[in-house]
């Protein structure tokens, strides 16, 4: 790699890394505030709160990576414009060092994006889900105070009247409205925690279950002598099972057979993140790569234009993704928003004369 190419590539990386650090730090602060619930409502320590917020960093980086790449390119080239370094480069060797450094930078960014979406983000999502499941299970198992109603999760309230010296709960009560079709009330004289086939359960004795169906406005019920509830089901703690595994796991589970429509859509959604990186990186490069004497004063910053385009494209992409989620067979549509910057980029190559060795230096920006 020639010295000039390495010099420009380093500037790309430093600028993009600085923007990524700032955006990820702001995103981490938001996640940290959301995780305060672990301390205030679920009795967890600060370590659990910080751990869960840090696990969200790869997903935050994955979301903002295309924006960091685009702004990193525009800031680097504009800095070269202001420092007047760009003019001797263009006059001496032309556009080649910029193209080489841009290609290397985009290649590194695409590999980073693919690694995040296909492997790192699914792994951290799974770890967050496992921790959340464990916290909810602990809340059910240990946090219920005698004589106090405890909201275990949204729509689920539990209480025990008292505890025996051996830990047995006396006077067990649950009111569950999580099912949109009916509510249920469970009452039992005794409750005990037990491990059944490795599953933590609440074993109830001498009680009854009452169901109220909203559509018919009727109450039904049954009585039991012994009844077992899995703590994970009781607390709604099954989020780990719903996390989509990494792409290799998806392909391995298919066993050579075609993937389901939902899994196919997930794979393409992961791929499209890299396309956002490429298309916005190309657009940003073409918007600023033409040398400019800076004689005129632009009223609108190039970085602002790049940011506005990136936000608009991403908003459109999010809307398309939500639509395709309802019809997974329409997965090719998720690539369309990410290709929108290319529609602007290709004509810009010819309009600005960027393929010429020595572009016109008399424009204003």
What is the reported pLDDT for 299? Answer: 57
- The stretch 120-128 carries a mean pLDDT of 91
- pTM (2 decimals)? 0.74
For a pLDDT cut of 90, what percent of the chain falls above it? 38
CA 321 to chain centre: 14
Distance of alpha carbon 95 from alpha carbon 87, whole angstroms: 11
Distance of alpha carbon 237 from alpha carbon 143, whole angstroms: 15
Q: Mind spelling out the 3-state secondary structure of 67-105?
A: HHHHHHHHHHHHHHHHCCCHHHHHHHHCCHHHHHHHHHH
Q: Are 68 and 12 in contact (CB under 8 A)?
A: no
Q: Are 102 and 281 in contact (CB under 8 A)?
A: yes
The beta-strand segments (E) located in the chain are 150-153, 156-163, 169-176, 182-196, 199-213, 218-230
pLDDT beyond 80 at 108: yes
Give the CA distances from residue 254 to residues 247, 328, 330, 331, 358, in Å, rounded to whole numbers and listed in that order: 11, 17, 20, 19, 54
Closest CA to 265 of 322, 340, 319: 322
The per-residue pLDDT for range 147-174, each reduced to its tens digit, is 777 777 778 888 888 888 877 888 888 8
What is the reported pLDDT for 139? Answer: 64
Distance of alpha carbon 159 from alpha carbon 27, whole angstroms: 37
Distance of alpha carbon 346 from alpha carbon 136, whole angstroms: 52
pLDDT beyond 80 at 305: yes
- The stretch 98-124 carries a mean pLDDT of 94
pLDDT beyond 70 at 121: yes
What is the reported pLDDT for 131? Answer: 78
- The stretch 59-69 carries a mean pLDDT of 95
Mean confidence (pLDDT) of the chain: 82
What is the reported pLDDT for 34? Answer: 77
pLDDT beyond 50 at 359: no
What is the reported pLDDT for 357? Answer: 47
- The stretch 294-316 carries a mean pLDDT of 78
Question: Which residues neighbour 83 within 8 Å (Cβ) at sequence distance 6 or greater?
Answer: none
Expressed in angstroms, the distance from the first to the final Cα of the chain is 31
- The stretch 25-49 carries a mean pLDDT of 74
Distance of alpha carbon 58 from alpha carbon 215, whole angstroms: 44
What is the reported pLDDT for 310? Answer: 92
pLDDT beyond 60 at 16: yes
- The stretch 106-112 carries a mean pLDDT of 97
């Amino acid at each position: 790699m020639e010295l000039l190419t390495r010099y420009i590539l380093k500037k790309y990386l430093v600028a993009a890394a600085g923007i990524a650090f700032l955006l990820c730090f702001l995103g981490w602060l938001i996640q940290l505030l959301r995780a305060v619930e672990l301390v205030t409502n679920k009795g967890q320590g600060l370590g659990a709160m910080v751990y869960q917020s840090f696990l969200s960093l790869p997903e935050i980086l994955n979301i903002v990576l295309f924006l960091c790449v685009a702004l990193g390119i525009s800031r680097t080239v504009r800095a070269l414009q202001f420092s007047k370094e760009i003019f001797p480069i263009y006059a001496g060797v032309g556009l080649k060092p910029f193209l080489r450094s841009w290609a290397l930078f985009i290649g590194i960014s695409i590999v980073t994006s693919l690694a995040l979406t296909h492997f790192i983000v699914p792994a951290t999502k799974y770890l967050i889900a496992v921790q959340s499941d464990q916290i909810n299970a602990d809340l059910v198992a240990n946090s219920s105070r005698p004589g106090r109603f405890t909201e275990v999760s949204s729509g689920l309230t539990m209480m025990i009247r008292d505890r025996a010296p051996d830990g047995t709960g006396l006077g067990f009560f649950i009111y569950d409205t999580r099912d949109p079709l009916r509510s249920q009330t469970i009452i039992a004289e005794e409750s005990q925690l037990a491990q059944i086939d490795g599953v933590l359960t609440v074993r109830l004795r001498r009680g009854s279950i009452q169901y109220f169906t909203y559509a018919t406005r009727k109450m039904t019920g049954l009585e039991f002598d012994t009844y077992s509830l899995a703590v994970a089901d009781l607390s709604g703690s099954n989020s780990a099972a719903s996390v989509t595994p990494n792409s290799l796991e998806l392909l391995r589970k298919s066993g050579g057979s075609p993937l389901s429509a939902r899994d196919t859509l997930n794979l393409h959604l992961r791929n499209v993140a890299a396309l956002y990186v490429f298309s916005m990186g190309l657009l940003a490069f073409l918007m600023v790569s033409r040398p400019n004497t800076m004689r005129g004063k632009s009223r609108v910053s190039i970085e602002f234009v790049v940011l506005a385009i990136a936000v608009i494209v991403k908003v459109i992409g999010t809307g398309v993704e939500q639509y395709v989620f309802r019809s997974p067979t329409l997965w090719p549509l998720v690539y369309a928003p990410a290709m929108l910057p290319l529609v602007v980029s290709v004509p810009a190559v010819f309009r600005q004369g960027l393929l010429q060795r020595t572009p016109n230096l008399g424009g204003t920006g």
